[in-house]
Amino acid sequence: TFLQNLPIMRKLLVKIAVRLGLYQKAMDIDTRIRQRKEKKAMQQYGLETLIAADEAITAFGGRMFLVFGTLLGAYREHNFIPHDCDIDVGLLASERPENIQELMAEAGFRRVNQQYVKETGRIVEERYQRKGVGIDLFYFFDDDRFPDEIYAYLSYRHETKDWREANVTDGFPTILKPQVRSTFSRQDFLGHQFYMPDRAEEWLRRLYGDDFMIPNPGWSFSDHKTRSFPSGERVFRKIE
């Protein structure tokens, strides 16, 4: 049937787009369609999802803290950024329990994917979803690479391949985003208390530049041009 053939047709269209050099444009269109749906879910259930994630992670002794766009919104606008379509939170890698997927599932979260470095098995990011709201959980590491900082991985689209092909061949390129060491404390956000870095302003300057207090609706993931380092490591995705 037509519906049964949709995955096959999509793979064929992707191959054609890659061959014609149109893959990035096709992916951009697909991303915009998906983000419109996610933004609607964020408006309805964003805060509820953030509270549920905080409660689940606190229950096993972790400290989930706001990072990236969610931290920026909390600091600058005291709200979610209007054009954000998901939630960004961090967790120290040392606080991640092996059974986190089961613990999050008990709170109503479904794990969508997990990103890991194949050579070492290091898990660097997980994406969960609840009521249509995506929440990206970035793990922050503490080792000799950056003696005075902690850092997270950010991955990017493959240079030339469709993500499915990349995931079974050479994976995705990554950069490391180091942040100054900071304590974390609960601070008010939309009437609730969430962990945030006490050196939030320094974190945001490193992420978005000195003009981070000026809203930029056209900002995209590719604009991460402040302090970052190519890791030389490739990540792969475990799709649930």
**Per-residue model confidence as pLDDT tens digits over 148-200:** 999 999 998 898 888 889 999 999 999 999 999 999 999 999 999 999 999 99
Residue 4: per-residue pLDDT:
41
Structure tokens at 91: 């967790």
Q: For residues 103 and 62, what is the distance between their CA atoms, to the nearest angstrom?
A: 12
> Above pLDDT 70, what percent of the chain?
82
CA 189 to chain centre: 20
**Order of strands across the sheet with 123-130?**
149-155, 172-180, 229-239, 110-117, 123-130, 133-140, 86-92, 65-66, 192-197, 184-189
Higher pLDDT, 228 or 189: 189
- Minimum mean pLDDT range among 95-99, 100-104, 157-161: 157-161
Confidence of residue 28 (pLDDT cuts 50, 70, 90): low
Phi, psi of 42 (to 5 degrees): -60, -45
Structure tokens at 171: 């994976």
- Beta-strand runs (E) in 8-132: 65-66, 86-92, 110-117, 123-130
